[in-house]
Amino acid sequence: MNLKNSKFYKRIQELRNFSKEKIRKDREQRGLRTAVIRGVEMALSESKCSNQVIELEWSQLASPAKSLSSPRRRTSASKNKPGKKRPLMAGDARSKGGQGFRPVKPVGSDNEAAVTEGFIELNNLRYRVACSGRPGSSPRHDERPTISDSKSAICVSNSRYAMIGRISKSLGFKLVKECKMWNILWSDSFPGVELFKNMKRFQQINHFPGMIEICRKDLLSRNLNRMLKLYPHDYKIFPKTWMLPADYGDAMHYAQNHKRTFILKPDSGAQGRGIWLTNDLKTIGPNERLICQTYIHRPLLIDGYKFDLRVYTLITSVDPLRLYVYNEGLARFATNKYVEPTPGNANDLYMHLTNYSVNKRNSQYDLCDNDDCGSKRKLSAINNWMTRHNYDVNEFWSNVDDVIIKTVLSAWPVLKHNYNACFPGHDTIQACFEILGFDILVDWKLKPYILEVNHSPSFHTNEQVDREVKRPLIRDTLTLVSTVLADKKQILREDRKRVKQRLLKSKGDTVQRSRVVAGASKVTPNKEGSPTNKEQSPEPEIGSLAQQIAWEESHMGNFRRIMPPPDASRVNYYCKFFGQTNQVSIFQETAASKKREDLARKMRLQIEEKKAKQEQMLLARSKRKRLIQPRLAREKHRLNLFRLKENWSPGFVSEAEERLRNTWQQMRTEAIRNLKITENIYALLFEHGHLSNTDITTFPNLYHYLQCGYDIKGAT
Ligand code: ADP
């Protein structure tokens, strides 16, 4: 009898499945939900539940249809329940125009509830989150979800920095290979699009697709120049820059009217390679691909040395844009005392460049563990120096933040487009985060200029100062990215289910993508957009993005948030830059720059044609000259040239010389024959007994050879 067919066996299986399902649901409802809500609560109880809660409304200003295209948005928007009075979910507060934020009225100042309740407003939805205690009450640390709780796995095999693996391990991450189900992939280089596309919904990677737009010198220049054209008063954040050869004419025109020094860099170079200074742009060929910049000739000096700042910035999301700046960073010093550029010192790279890779080769490089000396110092030491010299440190850093925000905003449309194209289904956590290294040069007026953005800043820890800055940076970054909010197992289960459903087509084409919304059961909107399971969601829901934001706000470490700006008055200011695509499409601009390049190419061809014509004319003239000169004289001249050459080798045989030699030889033979010298010699030899008749018969050619004047050795 087959036991598997028995009723008893089937019943046991049913019960087993039932209890498994029940346990799973139970755990989901209790475990994850409470963990996440607690995360949000902590965020709010730590900082946000004050009497003056300023709310930021993320308004979809550009085109609502477009901006609501991501599944995350669709689901969030669909959660508004018409008819039911929910004052804290203000889905109707929608605005029109560009895309960005706008401040709404401060809440909570006059009502008691706002003190104990917090709000996160995103995607036109306001999420209500209750604080567990009074403002300022500390969160219960024992209940805080940690990375080790979530059993997150990280793959660092594509990174050369051992430190990242070590820190991840100490934070509770499991180190895995790339082929395994990692939560985070940390790579030093930009991964291919395929990798982005195959990522699961719980996975994160440390690069955003399209970040190259600001990380390559030529693309950064193009984007910043475009923004400067659109916002001439706001975008003076970088030195005047031309992309050669496209902007060759512009650069030459500027050079003619301004007496300036220029710095020239290869368009995709790094580490100071191939950089030089000049004040004569005519020395540059019209075909060279270079970035030409005005040289900031009066930089801020400390102890007489030029320096630049490496500011680490973390991007956790591009749509909406969220930026954090690390409070600690590095100042890299030049190793020769600074003097304004002159033709005499323009070649001194140790004076004009501040790259570590250049200056470490100088014997003057100062390895010093003290904060206020050394060729590499911490930003905190620079802040102290500024305070001592009565500079306004806060104002300076708010200017630096402004430069960083504007630089990222110049590529924002591309970043947003690429992200949405690569991760249409990533609705649980953000698929990417990225640490960018901003190189900032400060002039004598304390104005910061962006020089370069590095997508993979160096995490080498050669010096003590590196260790003190970079280790906490990695640690804080890994803590801030929110892997803990994604339940790997549940997402995999859901994905499997989805695939199964699609294959079986059990529910037709209208199978809704379920979302992981902690603290809420899944919402399936009907045609009118109202949720069908009203009874199952008694509490206000917390969207996945709101969870992430709450998590980030409560795990900032030494980061400070710069976007959305903490100062509400700045929100409106940045709004306009989000609307850049409404004014000039970046693709239009690309077409314009292509046109410029086309024009430059045509100009180049014309110049080359002209040059070729001139050369031909010169050649024709010299040919005519050659015809006039007698052949012998030309030949002599050529020979003289050869002989004058230092490396003249005797192996060379001139044709004319050879001809001359042959002629002389023939003349000599003729002379010998005419003077009958051979006969006389023969007779003489015969007379003296040196030759006999026998000789003549033995060597018949001898007489003939003697007669022709040849060497008689060959005849004997
Ligand atoms: P790389 O990527 O090769 O390091 P950068 O653009 O960062 O190239 O320039 C290298 C160094 O040259 C900078 O650290 C800075 O000291 C100096 N530098 C670059 N541009 C300018 C400029 N416009 N004015 C003054 N100094 C500059």
Q: What is the pLDDT of residues 590-622, one digit of tens each?
A: 555 666 667 777 777 888 888 888 888 888 877
286 lines ligand 1 (CB under 6 A): no
**Mutation pick for ligand 1 pocket among 254, 451, 452, 458 (CB with most ligand atoms within 8 Å):** 451
User: Among the residues of 411-445, which ranges form H helices?
Assistant: 412-422
Confidence band of 355 (pLDDT split at 50, 70, 90): very high
Lowest mean pLDDT among 480-494, 546-560, 644-658: 644-658
- What confidence score (pLDDT) does residue 696 get? 67
Lowest mean pLDDT among 31-40, 81-90, 321-330, 697-706: 81-90
Q: Are 540 and 88 in contact (CB under 8 A)?
A: yes
Q: Which residues make beta-bridge pairs with 266?
A: 290
215 lines ligand 1 (CB under 6 A): no
452 lines ligand 1 (CB under 6 A): yes
Q: Which residues make beta-bridge pairs with 318?
A: 321
- What confidence score (pLDDT) does residue 566 get? 87
Confidence band of 14 (pLDDT split at 50, 70, 90): confident
548 or 215, which is more confident: 215
CA distances from 48 to 44, 246, 468, 676 (A): 4, 50, 30, 128
- What confidence score (pLDDT) does residue 129 get? 46
Any idea what the Cα angle at residue 240 is, between residues 235 and 245, rounded to 5°?
125
The rounded distance, in Å, linking the Cα atoms of 472 and 328 is 9
Q: What is the mean pLDDT of residues 399-404?
A: 96
Bridging pattern class, strands 330-333 and 305-318:
antiparallel
Q: What are phi and psi of 201, to 5 degrees?
A: -70, -10
471 or 103, which is more confident: 471
The rounded distance, in Å, linking the Cα atoms of 75 and 649 is 86
Atom of ligand 1 lying closest to residue 269 CA: 3
Confidence band of 74 (pLDDT split at 50, 70, 90): very low
- What confidence score (pLDDT) does residue 397 get? 96
296 lines ligand 1 (CB under 6 A): yes
- What confidence score (pLDDT) does residue 425 get? 81
Question: Quick one: tokens of 541?
Answer: 């829901």
CA 257 from centroid of its chain's CA atoms? 34
Nearest CA to ligand 1 atom 11: 353
Q: What is the mean pLDDT of residues 570-591?
A: 67
- What confidence score (pLDDT) does residue 191 get? 86
Average pLDDT, the chain: 75
Coil, helix or strand at residue 428: coil
Location of structure tokens 């979800």: 145
Question: Quick one: tokens of 228?
Answer: 């400067």
What are the pLDDT digits (tens) for 273-290? Answer: 889 899 888 888 877 889
| Range among 96-105, 329-338, 544-553 rated most confident | 329-338
- What confidence score (pLDDT) does residue 651 get? 59
**Mutation pick for ligand 1 pocket among 347, 352, 355 (CB with most ligand atoms within 8 Å):** 355
At residue 268, does pLDDT exceed 50?
yes
Region of residue 266 (phi > 0: left; psi between -120 and 50: alpha; otherwise: beta) = beta
CA distances from 466 to 34, 355, 374, 532 (A): 39, 15, 12, 56
Lowest mean pLDDT among 120-129, 159-168, 243-252, 458-467: 120-129
- The DSSP secondary-structure symbol of 107 reads B
The rounded distance, in Å, linking the Cα atoms of 572 and 101 is 7
- What confidence score (pLDDT) does residue 535 get? 39
The rounded distance, in Å, linking the Cα atoms of 665 and 709 is 10
346 lines ligand 1 (CB under 6 A): no
Share of the chain above pLDDT 70, in %: 68
At residue 647, does pLDDT exceed 80?
no
- What confidence score (pLDDT) does residue 547 get? 81
Location of structure tokens 């033979």: 669
451 lines ligand 1 (CB under 6 A): yes
pTM above 0.95? Answer: no
Bridging pattern class, strands 153-158 and 305-318:
unpaired
Q: Nearest-CA neighbor of 175 among 188, 157, 149?
A: 157
Q: What is the mean pLDDT of residues 244-261?
A: 89
The rounded distance, in Å, linking the Cα atoms of 401 and 152 is 32
Nearest CA to ligand 1 atom 8: 272
- What confidence score (pLDDT) does residue 549 get? 86
Q: Nearest-CA neighbor of 415 among 571, 235, 290, 581?
A: 581
How many other CB atoms are found less than 10 A from the CB of residue 91?
18
Question: Quick one: tokens of 642?
Answer: 């050869």
Distance 350 CA to ligand 1 centre (A): 12
266 lines ligand 1 (CB under 6 A): no
Question: Quick one: tokens of 128?
Answer: 């209500």
- Sheet of strand 184-187, all strands in order from the earlier edge strand to the far edge: 174-175, 153-158, 184-187, 204-205
435 lines ligand 1 (CB under 6 A): no
Based on C-alpha coordinates, what's the Rg of the chain? 40
At residue 672, does pLDDT exceed 90?
no
Task: Please confirm whether the linkage preceding 341 is cis (ω < 30° from 0).
Answer: no
Share of the chain above pLDDT 90, in %: 33
Task: Please confirm whether the linkage preceding 343 is cis (ω < 30° from 0).
Answer: no
- What confidence score (pLDDT) does residue 85 get? 35
Distance 353 CA to ligand 1 centre (A): 6
Question: Quick one: tokens of 45?
Answer: 């109880």
What are the pLDDT digits (tens) for 27-64? Answer: 666 554 554 444 444 444 333 333 333 333 333 333 33
Q: What are phi and psi of 434, to 5 degrees?
A: -155, 135
Q: What is the mean pLDDT of residues 248-257?
A: 89
Atom of ligand 1 lying closest to residue 291 CA: 6
- What confidence score (pLDDT) does residue 536 get? 42
678 or 238, which is more confident: 238
Q: Nearest-CA neighbor of 62 among 583, 424, 546?
A: 583
- What confidence score (pLDDT) does residue 184 get? 93
The rounded distance, in Å, linking the Cα atoms of 440 and 308 is 6
216 lines ligand 1 (CB under 6 A): no
The rounded distance, in Å, linking the Cα atoms of 218 and 245 is 12
At residue 512, does pLDDT exceed 90?
no
584 or 132, which is more confident: 584
Lowest mean pLDDT among 302-316, 326-340, 486-500: 486-500
Location of structure tokens 């061809």: 605
H or E element that contains 504 = helix 488-504
- What confidence score (pLDDT) does residue 488 get? 79
Distance 452 CA to ligand 1 centre (A): 8
Q: What is the mean pLDDT of residues 485-496?
A: 80
Which residues lie below 8 Å from residue 601, measured CB to CB, with a gap of 6+?
none
- What confidence score (pLDDT) does residue 214 get? 94
265 lines ligand 1 (CB under 6 A): yes
Which residues lie below 8 Å from residue 584, measured CB to CB, with a gap of 6+?
226, 229, 230
- What confidence score (pLDDT) does residue 445 get? 94
- What confidence score (pLDDT) does residue 53 get? 35
Across the chain, which distance is largest between two alpha carbons, in Å?
150
Which residues lie below 8 Å from residue 342, measured CB to CB, with a gap of 6+?
none
Confidence band of 485 (pLDDT split at 50, 70, 90): confident
Q: Are 348 and 336 in contact (CB under 8 A)?
A: yes
130 or 376, which is more confident: 376
Location of structure tokens 């995490």: 459
37 or 467, which is more confident: 467
- Sheet of strand 262-266, all strands in order from the earlier edge strand to the far edge: 241-244, 290-294, 262-266, 276-278
The rounded distance, in Å, linking the Cα atoms of 174 and 147 is 10
552 lines ligand 1 (CB under 6 A): no
The rounded distance, in Å, linking the Cα atoms of 426 and 515 is 10
241 lines ligand 1 (CB under 6 A): no
- What confidence score (pLDDT) does residue 283 get? 85
Nearest CA to ligand 1 atom 17: 353
Question: Quick one: tokens of 505?
Answer: 């087509």
Bridging pattern class, strands 559-563 and 321-326:
antiparallel
Question: Quick one: tokens of 248?
Answer: 């060759």
Lowest mean pLDDT among 299-308, 347-356, 695-704: 695-704
What are the pLDDT digits (tens) for 367-392? Answer: 887 888 889 999 999 999 999 999 99
What are the pLDDT digits (tens) for 409-457? Answer: 999 999 999 999 898 888 888 899 999 999 999 999 999 999 999 999 9
User: Among the residues of 28-161, which ranges form H helices?
Assistant: 33-43, 64-67, 71-77, 112-116, 147-150
Q: Nearest-CA neighbor of 122 among 424, 548, 533?
A: 548
Q: Nearest-CA neighbor of 542 among 526, 521, 514, 519?
A: 519
**Hey, what's the torsion of the CAs at 505, 507, 510, 516, to 10 degrees?**
-100
- What confidence score (pLDDT) does residue 490 get? 82
Bridging pattern class, strands 153-158 and 241-244:
unpaired
441 lines ligand 1 (CB under 6 A): yes
Q: What is the mean pLDDT of residues 522-539?
A: 38
Confidence band of 71 (pLDDT split at 50, 70, 90): very low
308 lines ligand 1 (CB under 6 A): yes
448 lines ligand 1 (CB under 6 A): no
The rounded distance, in Å, linking the Cα atoms of 67 and 77 is 11
Helix/strand/coil percentages in the chain, nearest 5: 45, 15, 40
Amino acid residing at 200: K
User: Among the residues of 579-676, which ranges form H helices?
Assistant: 580-583, 586-628, 631-644, 655-675
- What confidence score (pLDDT) does residue 709 get? 63
